[in-house]
Amino acid sequence: MKQPINEIKRMQQLAGILKESLDIDMYDRNNNPKPGLHVARDREELIDQGIKLGGNVKVVDVDSIYKDYSDLFYQLGFTNKKLNDQVKAGDIGKVFDIIDHPSQPDILLAIETEDGREALISSNGVSSV
């Protein structure tokens, strides 16, 4: 069952507030990312790189795949809502949803391969095709 739109929007708003509060500590006084901290790409950068809803991406980092995230699997309408661990590096998938990570400064992509395998992956783990 998908979550109501209002609840999804509320989660995205909370994620945005959290991201803004984290951004303060993620950069040094010269506005450079602090070493060792992950800085998520923003949506404009994704679009500039050709990553968009309905577009194809190539998986380049399997460690960026969320294999067990059932709450988001339900929210995004995944077929398998328990475990999605079949997508491998080099696989090509079509982006069927793009969301902000609910608790981290990251953008997540829901992708599906031609043969129906699905993955939830950080935008940093893919490249455009």
Residue 87 has what DSSP assignment?
-
Q: According to CATH, what is the number of the domain 5-128?
A: 2.30.30.40
Per-residue pLDDT of the chain (129 residues; tens, 9 = 90+): 555 667 766 666 666 555 544 444 445 556 555 444 444 457 778 888 889 999 999 999 999 999 999 989 999 999 989 889 899 999 999 999 999 888 888 899 999 999 999 999 999 999 999
Domain boundaries, the chain: 5-128
pLDDT at residue 100, rounded to an integer? 87
Put simply, whether the predicted model's pTM sits higher than 0.95 gets the answer no
Quick one: pLDDT at residue 41?
59
Contact 59, 90 (CB under 8 A): yes
